[in-house]
A and B are shown apart, each in its own frame.
Chain A
Amino acid sequence: MSSETEIIVDVSELPPPKPMEIVLDALDEIKPGQYIRMIHRMEPHPLYNILMDNGYRYKVDVSTGLIHIFIWKSVDKTAENLVKSCIND
């Protein structure tokens, strides 16, 4: 996946609340057609409420050892389709 469409945020070795601080900052960087791939060692349940309340959507992939959380703006269908194809791959 090209870096033009994917912003990788690896927080897998950071203690709370650093992962959430970093990903909230990264939300401001998302441009149309882009999404964030957050790589974490556990599911950040508290983050999900903040995302939904602020107009973002997410999908979680736990098929590999680490947790991958894909985040995109709810209105951005291009990013949503990219995430879907990424997870299906």
Chain B
Amino acid sequence: MNHANLTLEQAPSIFTPLRYFITAPLFLIISGVILLVSGPDLLENRWNLYTLALTHSLALGFISMSIIGAFFQILPVVAGCHIPQSNSTSFIIYCFLVPGIVLLILGFILNTPILYKLSLYMIVLSLSIFIVTVLKSLLQNNSELASAKSLNLSIISFLIAVILATILLAGYAWPDFGLLRQYTHLHIIWAAVGWILISVIGVSYQVIPMFQITSEYPAFIKIFLTRLIFIFLIALTFINLLNNSASLDISSIEIVLTSLLAVSIFVFVFTSIKLVLQRKKRSPDSSLWFINISFFMLALCVISHLSSLYLSTDLSILSGMLFFSGFSIPLIIGMLSKIIPFLIWYHLHKNAGKSFRKSHKIPLMTEIFSPFKSRLLFYVYIASFTSSLIAMFTTAYVFYLASILWILLGTLLFLFISHSIHIYTSFICNISKSTEMA
């Protein structure tokens, strides 16, 4: 079978994903500031408005911002999907999403209906454009790749999470509408497991064997795992809706379904760790440290959630902390420290003509984002995460230390990405000058 010229001109402009990647660390800084301003009370109650501001700053501002950027980059390159006018579409989504998230965070902190309303309009508009664009592109392409199939499911999950979020936020924006808090659990599982985790699994199928030179994920996992997770999510949704409408006792069914979901996640975690441990070429790579710790913390997060179900104790704050700061944050940092230098390196090669490449040395990936920077980020991350965990059981001083460390982590990440972009723009200027002189 031959494929000629398969993805000509499908790679997007560098700023299509980069505008999201450079903005994401700013929300990590904002999250640290929220921690600092709110104080340790935030760890006491998941319904605290500061807690909601923090979780949405992380989930939408840091995690989803990075995943949306990655989608624009990965769909054409990895799944071979063409996104029409991806640069302008990405820009429009960005222009509504960023102020929308800021207004939502302010809305929670100030508890002001007008801010909730404005954020609702902007976020729903931007995410609707994103979901429709990506879904259309995936369906038109109809790729047989396991990654593309999983990304399809993650986008549908995102749609469900956004619909539930709209219902919930409407309760804050229009108090007469009533706060339908019973949908919160569904909103969380569709956002965390459906959107974030299925995206991570789908991307891992391609990216882990590619960057870590591991074997491929086993075929049965690539075919069935994300589909099973999606089916369990649908079943959990029906059970919850049934419970809300008929007041049935569904706790035992919910425990069984959640346990099946947990087993599916464990299968992914252990397969990934096994592949990485058995990889063909072993070279020191700090992005791997982020990935390893992230998968390990995902397993702990699932154990924590299961424990709260089986033991009937509320461990939601611990599970949330493990999901956000143990799993998602290191995974995103590890991903950004690989993708950004690769993107810049690639676009420099793409823009530089043959003669320019001969006369100027285009920087290596390790010069664009040095291993020292990745290691520094890792050490600061470990300090932030450890102090956050300790803060759950000790004095307020450790809590404030953790807040400052998260701000430091976000600031370093922002500065390192900015420096990488500076390297890119400097070289592009040189290429333009060289072209004019020629």
Closest chain B residue to A52, Cβ basis:
B8
B78 contacts chain A at the CB level, 8 A cutoff: yes
Given contacts A13-B280, A14-B213, A17-B345, contact A48 B8 (CB under 8 A): yes
Q: Are A54 and B346 in contact (CB under 8 A)?
A: no
Contact B3 A60 (CB under 8 A): yes
Q: Are B2 and A87 in contact (CB under 8 A)?
A: yes
Minimum CB–CB distance from A63 to chain B (whole Å) comes to 5
A13–B8 CA distance with the chains assembled, in angstroms? 25
- Measured CA separation A49–B347 after assembly (Å): 10
* B10 contacts partner chain A, Cβ-Cβ < 8 Å: yes
Q: A22 on the interface (CB 8 Å rule)?
A: no
Q: Are B7 and A50 in contact (CB under 8 A)?
A: no
Binary flags per residue of B1-19, CB closer than 8 Å to A gives 1, else 0: 1111111111100000000
- Distance from B91 Cβ to chain A, minimum over Cβ atoms (Å): 21
Contacts of B7 in A (CB 8 A): 45, 48-49
Q: Are B353 and A49 in contact (CB under 8 A)?
A: no
Q: Count the A-B residue pairs with Cβ separation under 8 angstroms: how many? A: 76
Chain A residues near B2: list those with CB within 8 A: 59-63, 87
Q: Across the interface, do B11 and A45 meet the contact criterion of CB distance under 8 Å? A: yes
Interface size for chain A: under 10, 10 to 19, 20 to 34, or 35 or more residues?
20 to 34
A13-B281, A15-B211, A60-B6 are known contacts. Are A49 and B350 too (CB-CB below 8 A)?
yes
Tell whether, in the assembled complex, residue B210 and residue A16 are in contact, meaning their CB atoms are under 8 Å apart: yes
Q: Is A24 an interface residue (CB 8 A)?
A: yes
A24 to B342, CA, bound (A): 15
Choose one: A15, A54, A87; the contact of B354 (CB below 8 Å): A54
User: B353–A54 contact, CB under 8 A?
Assistant: yes
Residues of chain A within 8 A (CB-CB) of B78 are: 45
In the complex, which residue of chain B has the Cβ closest to the Cβ of A12?
A: B213
B379-416 CB mask vs A (1 if < 8 Å, else 0) is 00000000000000000000000000000000000000
Evaluate contact between A24 and B211: CB separation under 8 angstroms. Answer: no
Mark interface residues in A44-73 (1 if CB within 8 Å of B CB, else 0).
Answer: 011011101110001111110000000000
Please, which residues of chain A bring their CB within 8 A of the CB of B3?
A: 43, 60, 62
Are B4 and A58 in contact (CB-based, < 8 A)?
A: yes
Least CB separation from B77: chain A residue: A45
- Inter-chain CA distance A3–B325, complex, in Å, is 54
Query: Is A42 an interface residue, CB under 8 A from the partner?
Result: yes
Q: How far is the CA of A24 from the CA of B80 in the complex (A)?
A: 22
Choose from A24, A27, A43, A63 the contact partner of B1 (Cβ within 8 Å): A63
Q: Does A20 contact B (CB under 8 A)?
A: yes
Check B77–A46 contact: CB distance below 8 A: yes
Produce 1/0 per residue, B149-185, CB < 8 A to A: 0000000000000000000000000000000000000
Tell me if B212 and A49 are in contact (CB < 8 A). Answer: no
Measured in the bound complex, the distance between the Cα atoms of B78 and A9 in whole Å is: 22
Question: Does residue B365 face the partner (Cβ distance < 8 Å to A)?
Answer: yes
Query: Does any Cβ of A come within 8 Å of B349's Cβ?
Result: yes
What are the residues of chain B within 8 A of A49 when measuring CB–CB? Answer: 7-11, 350
How distant is A84 from chain B, measured CB to nearest CB, in Å?
Answer: 10
B357 at the interface (CB under 8 A from A): yes
Task: Specify the chain B residue showing the minimal Cβ separation from A67.
Answer: B3
Return 29 A-B CB contacts under 8 Å, by A number. A13-B280, A15-B210, A15-B283, A16-B210, A16-B342, A17-B342, A17-B345, A17-B346, A20-B349, A28-B354, A45-B6, A45-B7, A45-B10, A45-B11, A45-B80, A46-B77, A46-B350, A48-B7, A48-B8, A50-B350, A52-B9, A54-B353, A59-B2, A59-B4, A60-B4, A61-B2, A62-B3, A63-B1, A63-B2
User: Closest 9 interchain pairs by CB?
Assistant: A45-B7, A60-B3, A45-B77, A59-B4, A46-B346, A50-B350, A49-B11, A63-B1, A17-B345
* B interface list, Cβ under 8 A from A: 1-11, 76-78, 80, 206, 209-213, 280-281, 283, 342, 345-346, 349-350, 353-354, 357-358, 365
